[in-house]
């Protein structure tokens, strides 16, 4: 199976040499998403919960473009600017899933693109 590039204007355009997502061999690999509003191309400023919601909205738009949902997610990675943000981000993140949660790791890193507090990437399976 050849790879297929997934892109939508309902999520932010890449800010470097990568794609929003790539579909290959029955999987969808979504690049790390940050809290950029695709309508304005501006970072969401506000609480870390506001950031997390925008990140998850961006992920949702990419999933929808691939014609799948959060139920298809099998692995996520959450990058935080500080582990003290974990509880608030975890609350928002969890609200986007219906119960069969994917495998996940959450790590704090020294810095994230555009100095955001949250970045999330997801791997999903196309067929359930």
Give residue-wise pLDDT tens across range 46-70: 899 999 999 999 999 999 999 999 9
Domain that holds residue 87: 4-125
pLDDT value of residue 45: 86
Q: Where are the alpha helices (DSSP H) in the chain?
A: 48-65, 86-94
Task: Provide the whole-model pTM.
Answer: 0.95
How many domains is the chain partitioned into structurally?
1
pLDDT value of residue 15: 86
What is the CATH classification number for the domain harbouring 56? 3.30.1330.40
Tell me the average pLDDT of the chain.
96
- The band of 1, judged by pLDDT with boundaries at 50, 70 and 90, is low
pLDDT value of residue 99: 83
């Amino acid at each position: 199976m050849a790879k297929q590039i997934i892109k939508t204007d309902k999520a932010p355009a890449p800010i470097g040499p990568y794609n929003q997502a790539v579909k290959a061999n029955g999987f969808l690999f979504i690049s790390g998403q940050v809290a950029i509003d695709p309508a304005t191309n501006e970072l969401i400023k506000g609480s870390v919960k506001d950031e997390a919601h925008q990140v998850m909205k961006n992920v949702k738009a990419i999933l929808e473009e691939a014609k799948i949902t959060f139920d298809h997610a099998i692995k996520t990675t959450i990058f935080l600017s500080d582990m003290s943000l974990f509880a608030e981000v975890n609350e928002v993140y969890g609200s986007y899933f219906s119960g069969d949660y994917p495998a996940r790791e959450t790590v704090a890193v020294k810095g994230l693109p555009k100095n955001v507090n949250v970045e999330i990437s997801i791997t999903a399976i196309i067929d359930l």
